[in-house]
Amino acid sequence: MSNRFVVIMAGGRGERFWPQSRLTRPKHLLPIVGDSPMLAQTVDRLKGLVPPENVFVITNKEQRDAVLESCPALLPERVIGEPEGRDTAAAVGLAALLVDQEAKDAAFALLPADHVIEDGEGFRSVLTSSFEAAEQDDYLVTIGIKPSFPATGYGYLSQGEELNKVLSRPVSKVDRFVEKPNVSTAEKYLSEGGYFWNAGMFVWRPSVILSAIEKHAPVLSAGLKELQADFTSTGSLLGAMEKVYPKLEKISVDFAVMEKAEGVVMLVSDFDWDDVGEWPAIERHYPADGNGNVFKGEGIAVDSKGNLAFSEQGHCITLLGVEDLIVVQSGDATMVCHKDRAQEVKELARKVGEAHPDLT
C-alpha cells in the first residue's frame, strides 16, 4: 500500500454548475451533493487505500489555496497548481513524472475530484484489484461502470475478451472507447450488455503511460521530457512548470492515448457512481415532494411541479405556478432555466463572463 499513489484531477471550472460554481470556487470545492466539498469526499474515500502522504492533487494556480483550505489533510507540497490548463493528457503526464520521482515506477490511480460514490468500501476494493493488475502487467487499467439507465451524457467502454483475473475480479480487454451516444444507441447498449460507462478513472505505472504517450502523442511527450529535464536541472518544479507547461500540447488523454493504445483493460465496478455532470443530476440524490419538486436548501413550492431549486444558507426560493425549472441562487447571481436547456448552462456561463467577468 505504501508504494501506491493516487493523483486527483481537480482543475476544472465546473461551468455546468454556474452560478454556484466559479473559477475560484468550482464544483469540486462545493457540497453539490452531500455536506462537504466534493473533493473532500474524494480524499476521505481514499482512507485505507493509500497513505495520506501518497495523495497528489493537480489543480490550477487560482484554486490551489482553496483546495488546501477545503482539504486540510492534504500535504501542501502534494497540491500542484497548473499555471495554465492544458487538458487531461498533459495533467496525466505531469502526474506520472511526480509519482515516478517519489517512488520509481510505482502504480498510481488517476481519479476525478467530483464524483459521487457512496460505497467507499466497494470503491477501495475495485481500486485495489486495479492496482494489482497494473503492477502485474504493462496494462493501462480503466474502470467501467455498469449502466443503470440509457445515459447519453457519458462515453462508453466496449468490453472485450477476459484476459485474466486479479483478486477474483475479471480483467477484460477494452475493444474500443465509444463517444456519447444518442438515446436509441444508449438503449441498445443497455439491452445488449457489454457496454460500460467510462468513469475517467485509470490505474497504471509511470513507465507504461509515459511510453504510450511517447508512441501516440509524440509532441506532448517531447514537452514532458523538456519539463522533466528543466525540473531535474533546476530542482524547481514551479519554475519548470511556469516555463514549459503553457507550451504543452492541449489534448485529452482519451483522444491522445486511450483510444489508440495497446494493453488497455477494464475492471467492472460494483460500487455506485454518479459524475453529477449537470444540475438535473442533483435530483438523483435528494428526495422530491409530492409534485416532484426537489430543493437543496430552503424553499416552498405552490402549484408547481418537477422543479429543482438550489439555494445557499439563509436564502429561501419560492416557486408559484411553474414547471420543470432549475432555479439556482448563489451570492451575487441567480439562474433560472428550463430543465430541457440544462446542457446549455456552460455556454450561458461563458456569455455571462463576457459581460460580467466578476460573476464567473
Cα 351 from chain centre: 24
pTM for this predicted structure: 0.93
More confident call, 157 vs 168 = 157
Q: In the sheet that 294-296 helps form, which strands lie side by side, from edge to edge?
A: 294-296, 308-310, 325-330, 333-338
Can you tell me the distance from the alpha carbon of 273 to that of 197, in angstroms, rounded to the nearest whole number? 10
Can you tell me the distance from the alpha carbon of 133 to that of 357, in angstroms, rounded to the nearest whole number? 46
Residue 313: band (very low, low, confident or very high) from pLDDT cuts 50, 70, 90: confident
Q: Reply yes or no on whether the pLDDT at 347 is more than 60.
A: yes
pLDDT of residue 238: 87
pLDDT of residue 1: 53
Residue 24: band (very low, low, confident or very high) from pLDDT cuts 50, 70, 90: confident
pLDDT of residue 256: 94
Non-local (6+) Cβ contacts of 292 within 8 A are 305, 306, 307
Which CATH fold topology does 5-268 show? Answer: Spore Coat Polysaccharide Biosynthesis Protein SpsA; Chain A (3.90.550)
Say if CB 271 and CB 119 are below 8 A apart: yes
Average pLDDT of the chain to the nearest whole number? 94
187-221 pLDDT tens trace? 999 999 999 999 999 999 999 999 999 999 999 99
Q: Reply yes or no on whether the pLDDT at 49 is more than 80.
A: yes
Residue 2: band (very low, low, confident or very high) from pLDDT cuts 50, 70, 90: low
Can you tell me the distance from the alpha carbon of 182 to that of 170, in angstroms, rounded to the nearest whole number? 29
Determine phi and psi for 85, rounding to 5 degrees.
-70, 130
Cβ atoms < 10 Å from Cβ of 160 = 15
Q: Percentage of residues in the chain with pLDDT exceeding 90?
A: 88
Cis before residue 72, ω within 30 degrees of 0?
no
pLDDT of residue 13: 80
Say if CB 99 and CB 78 are below 8 A apart: no
Domain positions in the chain are: 5-268, 279-359
Burial 296-305 (b: 16+ CB within 10 A, else e): beebebeebb
Q: Reply yes or no on whether the pLDDT at 155 is more than 80.
A: yes
60-92 pLDDT tens trace? 999 999 999 999 999 999 999 999 999 999 999
Can you tell me the distance from the alpha carbon of 27 to that of 274, in angstroms, rounded to the nearest whole number? 14
226-270 pLDDT tens trace? 999 999 999 898 899 999 999 999 999 999 999 999 999 999 998
